[in-house]
Amino acid sequence: MRVALASDHGGFEQKQALVAALVREGYEVTDLGPFDDASVDYPDYAVLVARAVANGSADRGVLVCGTGIGMAIAANKIAGIRAATVCSPEFAALARAHNDANVLALSGRFVDFEANRKIAELFLETPFAEGRHARRVAKIEELDGGETRQTANGEE
């Protein structure tokens, strides 16, 4: 599975550790930055991961900021993105099973690394439950406002 990650300064340290952990676990990881802990604006990095997932060059995205909230708000502006801020393993599994979330937004300041690592693993490994949830997710997709969803090779 191809996973794109990014953070701001509030999530930088955990993003670095998560990149290393996911590489060790065999994921195909793309680190979209930043590459030092200087202060940056989280929307600039959220959009990089959101676009990678929306255009099909990554299967899932993981974002880390101070709370995970700003990253999710920004990522959800991109058509095709269902980003969820997650602070517990249970929510990680439910964000996948019920919402087919494709971007995970983590808190680097309020959740410790071991908890976030477990949350990320569950997020990456839990399948979408389909069934009634597919109808609901289709209704979310309709809210994308007619913007065309593109795959990596440019197809609709």
Q: Which residues are at the interface with ligand RB5 (CB under 6 A)? A: 8, 10, 42, 65-67, 69-70
29 forms bridges with which residues in the sheet?
A: 3
Alpha carbons 152 and 55: distance in angstroms, whole number: 5
C-alpha distance from residue 59 to each of 29, 38, 41, 69, 114 (Å): 10, 28, 24, 21, 23
| Comparison of 93 and 103: residue with beta carbon closer to ligand RB5 | 103
| Comparison of 42 and 91: residue with beta carbon closer to ligand RB5 | 42
Give CA angle at 118 (116, 119), nearest 5°.
60
> Is residue 9 annotated as part of the catalytic site, yes or no?
no
Q: CB 88 → ligand RB5: shortest distance, Å? A: 18
> Is residue 65 annotated as part of the catalytic site, yes or no?
yes
Tokens encoding 42: 């989280």
Q: CB 145 → ligand RB5: shortest distance, Å? A: 24
| Comparison of 3 and 71: residue with beta carbon closer to ligand RB5 | 71
Residue with the closest Cβ to ligand RB5? 70
Burial of 86 (0-12, 13-18, 19+ CB in 10 A): buried
Residues marked as catalytic:
65, 98
